[in-house]
Structure formats: C-alpha cells, structure tokens
Chain A
Amino acid sequence: MKKFCGKGVYGAIAIGRVSVFSRQGTNITQQKAEDPEQELKRLAAAKALASAQLAEIYEKACSEVGEENAQIFEIHMMMLEDEDHSERIETLIRTEQATAEYAVLTAGNEFSEMFASMDDDYMQARAADVKDISNRLISCLTGSSETGDAGSDMHILCADDLAPSETVSLDKSLVVAFVTAFGSSNSHTAILARNMDIPAVIGAGEEFLSAVKDGDMLIVDGHTGDLILDPDTETEQFYRARQEEDYCRAKSLSELKGRPNITKDGREIRIYANIGGPDGVDAALENDAGGIGLFRSEFLYLERSDCPTEEQQFDAYKDVLTRMEGRQVIIRTLDIGADKQIDYFGLKHEDNPALGLRAVRLSLTRPELFRTQLRALYRASVYGQLGIMFPMITSVSEVEKCLAACEEVKRELSAEGIAYSDSVEIGIMVETPAAAVISDLLAQIVDFFSIGTNDLTQYTLACDRQDPALEAFADPHHEAVLRLIELTAKNAHAHDTWVGICGELAADTSLTQTFLRMGIDELSVSAPFILPLREAVRSSTAY
C-alpha cells in the first residue's frame, strides 16, 4: 500500500483499476523487425482483440446512447476489417520489415490523410475515425494487451495532463475517475470530471505517475485528494463505507428534484446547467436543470480537421433546444484561443494567448466563421427558447458589431424565406474587468449578462489560471472579484438586464448567500452541482 496526495477537484470516491493514458504514436520509431511472420501474428492477435473490444463497446453504447449513436463503433469494426487498409499494413511489414506498431501507424496516417484532403467536411472528419482505429490497434499491440484489457473495462484514468481534444476522444463511459500528475483545478480535466460527475484528483505529481501501471488497484478520494495505490483490505473497506455515505447523500439530494430554488425569505432564482455539447443534455435534465446557462459551442470545433458546417452546427443546436423542451438554452459563440487551440485555424503563435486573439475577437476578425455560426443559431432558434451569448467582450463597439452581424444574418434568412424566432435573447459574458467596469453601458444594449468568474479572476488578479504554481494567488474570493460581480449586478438591474454567473464560482456554496444578496438572477453550474446548489439556496436568505 502506498499513499499519494494531489488536489481533489470533484468530491466523490472511486475504487478501481488503473489505466495509464499514453499518447500513442509518439514513441513508436521506425525500427526493423527481426521476423516479419512474428509481426504478422502479433497484428492478427491485436486485430482480434481490437475487434472484440469494439464489439463490446458497441453493445454498451447501444444500451447507453442508443443504436443510432453507437453505429460509429460498428463502422470502426468494418474499417478495421477493410482490405486495402489491412493489405497496406501487411505490405509494410513484409517489404519494409516494419514492426506491427509502425506499420499500423504509417498505414493509418496514409488513410487518414486521404480523408483529411477531401473537399468535404463530413469526409474530412472521418480522418479522426481512422486515427482512432490505428490507436486502438497500437494499444492492443503494446502494453494494455498484456495486462488485460484496461481499454475496454471500467477504469481510473491516470495521465500527465489531458488536452481538451484528448478528452473529447476518450471513451468516457468507461472512466470512473481521473488522476493527473499536473494541471490546475481550472484545467479542462477538472471541468470535465465535474461535468461527468466522477471524482478527479489533479497535481498528483510525477512520482505518482511513475509508480502506477495498468491494472493496479487504486482508491481516489476526490474530497481530500488522497490517492491510495494497492490498498490493504482494511483501507479498502473504509473507503467502500465512505462511498456508501456519498451514495446516501446523493439520494437525499435527489429528493430535491422538482422543488423550486427558493430562499427561506421567498426569493426564487434560476439554476441552469453548463454543457459542452448535445451529450450534456441528459445529465442536465437528470439533475433537474431549469435550462442551459452555458453551452460551450467550441467543443463542436474540436477534434476535427476543419470547421463544422452550418448544417452540422444547426443539427447540434436544434438537438439541444428540442430536448430542453422550451426551457431556455444559452449558447455561447466560439471561444477558441488561450487553453483551447485548434490546428486548422492556423493561428500564429502567441506568447500570451490568454491576452490574444481569442473568442469574440476571432469571430469579429473572421466574419465568415461568425456568420456561419450565427446562421446555424438563428435557424435553430425556432425549436426552443434560445439565448446567444458573446464571450470576452471588452467594449461597447464589440457588442455593437456582434449585434450588427446578428441583424445581417436575420435579414439574409428573411430574404431566403427561412424562419427564425423573434424572441432570441442576446447577452454577453462579463469576464474581463473592462466589461464589469463599463457594465452600465453594456447593460443598455443587451438582454442579459453572464459572469465568467474563471477568466474574471484570472484577468483581475493577473494570475494565469493554467499555472498550478499560481493557485495560491488566484483567490476567486478576492474582494476585487466580488466587487466587480456586485457592480455588474447593480448596473444590470438598473437597465432591466438580468444577470447570471456561469463560472466555477457559481457552484461555490460558501458564496451562494453573497450572490443572492447581490441580486444574481441565475446561476449556471455543471450538472452534478445543481442539486447541492438548490439545497444551499433553500437554506439561505436573500435579504
């Protein structure tokens, strides 16, 4: 038994087997294989294993997300059997004496390039499927095939850190907890864990990462950040009991479903959910969200080789609006840059990306990109109660440009005879100190504000939120941050603009009373925080 400690970012306990996340392909080199026949045998075994894994995932996905969405795994199985692809791998092994891993990697790159170079968005996106299959085959060829199939069982994912694009491609239905060696509590992994309602410990250190290997037994305590590798029976029993307590707590919270978010002295507020895409809707509804307060549309742009088309975006927005059945859905326009980068945008390197060409700045410098997204949004608006929100606003003129772009799109749609809703609310993120300070001016031209506390804290306190070394300085309870929030709320209400908070701070129940007294109208949090927050609101007073 060995103990490690990191920082718990989402409170729950997980007990399970470790799967170490490795970036396949990075350590595969072009070395000559001794015996091609041996490599072919390894390849055949890996293919059989990969095929079995896919069949299992397909079954699982069918029951979890429905056959329609599970079909991708069936396609993967067929691609795995594809003759040309298989022939190419075998040729590389026979004629170039490549190792099976190198042959799979090379063939995978060739085929995915074929798809990536096609002049069709849909087909370009298939490049990711080919890579996915190559990665699966390679992981079957290397480590994980020896220690059983950690890749297809429920597991605790351990990694150095995870990039947003990597978490998108993870088979999240199999992950019961995340542990990263680095990363801060604002990192994407932490946010993802909260969204998925599973425990996560970050900053566990390099020592931890080098101590764990695939298949090890691990206890993750998301409350305290404790990690117990290879626990003895007594310890395991202790944690199993704790897990049971958590379960009882969850049960008592679920009794709050259907109850209003109302304070003891009668003030009612709205509690909405933050989501990253259509697959977040289930968790939002499951936790009784009053609406979607933040749909991070940038996740539609990740894990692709080109921008999503108007049609693809329209489908995603329509899906969310339809399933929310008339409850408000606030979609934030593209917020790319800083910690979320996209290769195909071809953005030049920035020394300081948090202060760079990101979010609405990118939308305003690339009108076509912006127009496509706004068209998709307005076309989808007839399917529910849409709100459109612009990120990283610093000035009145930026908002005016956004509003002009909306008007132009509406004119276009009218001219084409395409319907859109007249009741779309327009709002902005208040996440720069500039926006908070001029919130009296901004409130006059928009319908709502949503305060992004993560960035507001970063910019107000001049602390890089990605840097764990600064965590001690980046105090989101800092008086300066709270005063900016209060100022924003006061100015909003003076102009009949409603104001919400969608940053991580919204879920901080030690501040719920403070926010209620400031007059905040809406709090938008990751789905698992909705009910705890409802509980906090119901035991607070607003006046």
Chain B
Amino acid sequence: MKTFQYTIQDKVGIHARPAGLLAKLAKGFAGTKITITKGEKSVEVTKLMMLMGLGVKCGDTVTFTAEGPDEDAAAEAVMKFMSENL
C-alpha cells in the first residue's frame, strides 16, 4: 500500500473539472484501489460525485492511498496530477 499527503493549492479546491480528470486517471489503474481521505471521510477517487462531495478546499490536507498491483505507478501518477493541477 502506498500513502502520501497533499495540501491543496488551487483556490477553488477539488472542483468539477480536476475531479473529473482525477477520476478518469484513477479508472486507468483497474484493479488498484485509490482512495482519498479528508478528516474522517474516505472515498474512492473513481467515484466522481463522492469525490466532489468531499468538498476539498484550498489549504486542506488530504491523504491518498493506492492499493493493488499497480500501486506504485498509480500513487506516482496521482501525485504528479495533484502537483500540476491542484
């Protein structure tokens, strides 16, 4: 299992478009479960509406975990996406 933390820099937080792109990215790693945790709530990144429903705002620190056969590559791709977009 790979885990890393990220603090959101984007002023609108995880809004619709990046959430959509992130969900799409996560779906590319079939068989690997990628979750995002904010406070006590965790959701799978592939679930767009739940991901948006998490309400991640600018300045929030979230934890990502990737678990499965592609966990290394998945965690790296998510980290890259976050730093480039959020």
Residues of A within 8 A of B13 (CB): 120, 122
Chain B proximity mask over A80-98: 1 for CB below 8 Å, otherwise 0:
0111110000000000000
A114 on interface, CB distance cutoff 8 Å:
yes
Given the known interface contacts A75-B16, A75-B20, A126-B16, the answer about A84 and B52 at a Cβ–Cβ threshold of 8 Å is no
| Shortest beta-carbon distance from A122 to chain B in Å | 6
B68 on interface, CB distance cutoff 8 Å:
no
A84, B43: Cα distance in complex, Å: 11
Q: Which of B49-82 contact A (CB under 8 A)?
A: 49-50, 52-53, 55, 57
Total residues of chain A contacting the partner, CB 8 A: 23
B86 on interface, CB distance cutoff 8 Å:
no
Across the interface, do A75 and B17 meet the contact criterion of CB distance under 8 Å?
A: yes
Total residues of chain B contacting the partner, CB 8 A: 18
Interface of B is mostly: helix
Residues of A within 8 A of B20 (CB): 74-75, 78
A280, B53: Cα distance in complex, Å: 32
Residues of B within 8 A of A81 (CB): 48
A120, B46: Cα distance in complex, Å: 22
A449 on interface, CB distance cutoff 8 Å:
no
Across the interface, do A83 and B52 meet the contact criterion of CB distance under 8 Å?
A: no
Across the interface, do A123 and B55 meet the contact criterion of CB distance under 8 Å?
A: yes
A118, B56: Cα distance in complex, Å: 11
Given the known interface contacts A114-B53, A115-B53, A119-B55, the answer about A78 and B12 at a Cβ–Cβ threshold of 8 Å is no
**Looking across the interface, which residue of chain A has its beta carbon closest to that of B46?**
A83
**Looking across the interface, which residue of chain B has its beta carbon closest to that of A71?**
B17
Residues of B within 8 A of A84 (CB): 47, 49-50
Across the interface, do B55 and A82 meet the contact criterion of CB distance under 8 Å?
A: no
A161 on interface, CB distance cutoff 8 Å:
no
B24 on interface, CB distance cutoff 8 Å:
yes
**Looking across the interface, which residue of chain B has its beta carbon closest to that of A130?**
B49
A119, B24: Cα distance in complex, Å: 26
Partner of A78, one of B11, B24, B50, B55: B24
Q: Please, could you name 15 A-B residue pairs with CB atoms under 8 Å apart, sorted by A?
A: A71-B17, A74-B20, A78-B20, A78-B23, A79-B48, A79-B49, A83-B47, A84-B50, A114-B53, A120-B55, A122-B13, A123-B55, A126-B16, A130-B49, A311-B11
Binding site for B on A (CB under 8 A): 71-72, 74-75, 78-79, 81-85, 111, 114-115, 118-120, 122-123, 126, 129-130, 311
Question: When A and B form their complex, which 8 residue pairs have the shortest distance between CB atoms, in order from nearest?
Answer: A78-B20, A75-B16, A82-B49, A82-B48, A118-B55, A75-B20, A114-B53, A84-B47
